[in-house]
A and B are shown apart, each in its own frame.
Chain A
């Protein structure tokens, strides 16, 4: 089978749907590095032209990695709601785009269709969308999740405090947590990336963060972002965890490099349901981002965006509390500059929401790429308009352990003010009792972590 069209009288022919998907994507250095990107701007539009005419059925029947060979394909296809799928499968990608953007199509309509979509369909439609299309369509879709507390409600914007420390000092970590709380950050999770991925260290950080939450009666949840198997052993050894974290990817081989499979994640999900410190039902936390398959040589000739969409399809199996997209974490060989990082973040946020995931965004940057704080701030303002569930809160944007830049406590507070958004309701009440927020606004003492020295904790140890 081949697909062909003419543009300005010139003929373009493509031989697989995988090729059409790769060439229809907006330009990204990672797809160029893989040798699968469109060879010219015109060829890119020719591929989009053909993609627009494919049906959702074509995309289900031609996954970029075969069902027989790839576990991610199997998890997604086996989990698809076949009835919903039948009701939409004859739509072309162009019709699907127009349906998503139509005034009559509501959040509920889109959420009903979600369960019949796979990664390839979601990637395809977003390849026909402009940045504003992606923001507009995503802004319709709310995905609300609950761990100990609920996030993602309309009118709210939440944050993960990311209080990392280069040598995992508990006191140093807690100093950053206190600073974050006084900016109203931390309603999504207090999530620590350990420098040392050991069971002992994970238990130490889990219990320090959990005990702090209890002592101060904070309506939030904790997580330590070691490898999921380390966290499982930590829970066996008495670690108090509200959720399990893991990085996941869109191909079986990349998940293998990450040290996970659906069997391992099934076991983890089962364990956190039994042993975790939160009622849920959303008990998993995933990290994703375009380019991991490419950088680990596990892309099999598929484009970064489609693999990312497949990652969401795979993650959906575990009803995650939060999904954390980190476009920009790898480097310029995958996303070249601020324009590509912004575009990828908007695609990923939309694709994740469309598949039904609670997307949090971290358009971040390393120091070997032509991106700076201005690019990051532009991206997060757009993503906030698109309705992202949460962002990171990193002190002064500088992660002093992971050595990259992410959104800061200051950015978090600013975004809420700009768009009139509030913290998660229970958390906002807590901020009021601490004197940090009043009527949705930061008070004069907000931003001063020394207020913790003068207040007696209301919780219990």
Chain B
């Protein structure tokens, strides 16, 4: 049923396209789709949570913008009835999706190959078991221990392990910058480093089991933190002097919040190298050692 003549349809399409363009929406021809027009929309994850306000015709825009600049909390959201406006709602969903994907995906094999890391696993069978059995993420399988013996130098001064933890994205985002900076720093401190490797389905205390085999003086574990909505790529470094079965959490020194908008990975790598040196010199780590 033709409600409009063709040129009317054309006019409506043009008008909407113009309007969308004015709202910073661009259109371009995508050659992949047989010259069909592709409408491209802006990336809703790019607006700053410190800047964007959504209230239409606020009583005092200047005051509102100032309030928004004071906190990353999701305020100045506006409403329709008592519910969210659509864009901030979708931004929330996008941030949650990113966090979920960071937890429920795997570090890619290509990435590990590029970084030259071999992979071993804990006794955990799959992601589901990993999440519900934190106890198993601390234990290496016998095959894993055999792999370590096969590929690694035993009794190094420093051993680095990279563990997926609760964010695989944190590993992929930070290790390419962090690891070279850490290795460079350790070299400058004249510390001899063993062969780094990757552990799948690991929790922080897995380093104790690793060191029963490797017997390094200082163990450096890089692990993905549980993602928040603010960032899904935050990584922590846990450092420990001769960890072993029975090591308690307070014996580990922690550097957390390593990511591009927290402690950037290059700086963090250099910082961790200097902490390793201090731990090595003091022969101890954790809250009871003044580092």
A-side interface residues toward B, CB under 8 Å? 29, 32-33, 163-166, 169, 171-173, 175-176, 178-179, 183, 331-333, 336, 366-369, 372-373, 395-398, 400, 403-405, 410, 413-414, 417, 442, 445-454
- Bin chain B's interface residue count: 35 or more
Residue of chain B at shortest CB distance from A173: B71
- Whether A171 lies near B70 (C-beta < 8 A) is yes
Q: Which residues of B contact A183 (CB under 8 A)?
A: 79, 82
- Whether B67 lies near A450 (C-beta < 8 A) is yes
Asked if B116 CB lies within 8 Å of chain A CBs, one says: no
- Whether A448 lies near B131 (C-beta < 8 A) is no
Q: Can you report 10 residue pairs joining A to B where beta carbons are below 8 Å apart?
A: A175-B68, A333-B133, A369-B131, A372-B96, A396-B88, A398-B229, A414-B81, A447-B55, A449-B64, A454-B59
- Whether B131 lies near A172 (C-beta < 8 A) is no
- Whether B230 lies near A400 (C-beta < 8 A) is yes
- Whether A450 lies near B59 (C-beta < 8 A) is yes
B224 CB → nearest A CB, Å: 10
Residue of chain B at shortest CB distance from A417: B82
- Whether A333 lies near B134 (C-beta < 8 A) is yes
Residue of chain A at shortest CB distance from B99: A367
Residue of chain B at shortest CB distance from A444: B57
Q: Which residues of B contact A166 (CB under 8 A)?
A: 72
Interface centre among B55, B67, B82, B83 (most CB of A within 10 A): B82
Q: Which residues of A contact B88 (CB under 8 A)?
A: 396
A157 CB → nearest B CB, Å: 13
The residue that A172 contacts in the complex, of B59, B73, B100, with Cβ under 8 A, is: B73
Q: Which residues of A contact B100 (CB under 8 A)?
A: 367, 372
A400 to B96, CA, bound (A): 13
- Whether B73 lies near A165 (C-beta < 8 A) is yes
- Whether B132 lies near A413 (C-beta < 8 A) is no
Asked if B46 CB lies within 8 Å of chain A CBs, one says: no
A212 CB → nearest B CB, Å: 14
- Whether B166 lies near A175 (C-beta < 8 A) is no
Residue of chain A at shortest CB distance from B230: A400
- Whether B93 lies near A175 (C-beta < 8 A) is no
B54 CB → nearest A CB, Å: 10
Q: Which residues of A contact B92 (CB under 8 A)?
A: 373, 396-398
Q: Which residues of A contact B59 (CB under 8 A)?
A: 445, 448, 450-451, 453-454
Interface centre among B60, B67, B77 (most CB of A within 10 A): B67
The residue that B133 contacts in the complex, of A33, A410, A453, with Cβ under 8 A, is: A33
A32 CB → nearest B CB, Å: 8
Asked if B226 CB lies within 8 Å of chain A CBs, one says: yes
The residue that A395 contacts in the complex, of B74, B81, B99, B226, with Cβ under 8 A, is: B74
Q: Which residues of B contact A404 (CB under 8 A)?
A: 228
- Whether B71 lies near A172 (C-beta < 8 A) is yes
A435 CB → nearest B CB, Å: 10
A176 to B67, CA, bound (A): 8
- Whether A29 lies near B132 (C-beta < 8 A) is yes
B-side interface residues toward A, CB under 8 Å? 49, 55, 58-61, 63-64, 67-68, 70-79, 81-84, 88, 92-93, 95-96, 99-100, 102-103, 131-135, 166, 226-230, 232
Q: Which residues of A contact B67 (CB under 8 A)?
A: 175, 178-179, 449-450
A441 to B139, CA, bound (A): 57
Q: Which residues of B contact A405 (CB under 8 A)?
A: 96, 229
12 more CB-based (< 8 A) A-B contacts, given A33-B133, A373-B92: A165-B71, A175-B68, A368-B166, A372-B100, A396-B88, A403-B229, A403-B230, A414-B83, A417-B81, A449-B64, A450-B55, A453-B59
Q: Which residues of A contact B228 (CB under 8 A)?
A: 367, 400, 403-404
A417 to B93, CA, bound (A): 24
Q: Which 7 A-B pairs have the closest CB atoms?
A: A396-B74, A403-B228, A172-B71, A367-B99, A413-B82, A453-B63, A450-B60
A186 CB → nearest B CB, Å: 14
Residue of chain A at shortest CB distance from B66: A175
Interface centre among A179, A183, A414, A454 (most CB of B within 10 A): A179
Interface centre among A367, A372, A400 (most CB of B within 10 A): A367
The residue that B131 contacts in the complex, of A169, A331, A447, with Cβ under 8 A, is: A331
- Whether B103 lies near A368 (C-beta < 8 A) is yes
A372 to B94, CA, bound (A): 12
- Whether B226 lies near A403 (C-beta < 8 A) is yes
- Whether B71 lies near A410 (C-beta < 8 A) is no
A446 to B78, CA, bound (A): 9
Q: Which residues of B contact A446 (CB under 8 A)?
A: 79
- Whether B71 lies near A400 (C-beta < 8 A) is yes
- Whether B73 lies near A368 (C-beta < 8 A) is no
A114 to B17, CA, bound (A): 66
B95 CB → nearest A CB, Å: 7
- Whether B226 lies near A366 (C-beta < 8 A) is yes
A183 to B77, CA, bound (A): 11
A173 to B78, CA, bound (A): 18
Residue of chain B at shortest CB distance from A166: B72
Q: Which residues of B contact A451 (CB under 8 A)?
A: 59-60
Q: Which residues of B contact A410 (CB under 8 A)?
A: 77, 79, 82-84
- Whether A400 lies near B72 (C-beta < 8 A) is yes
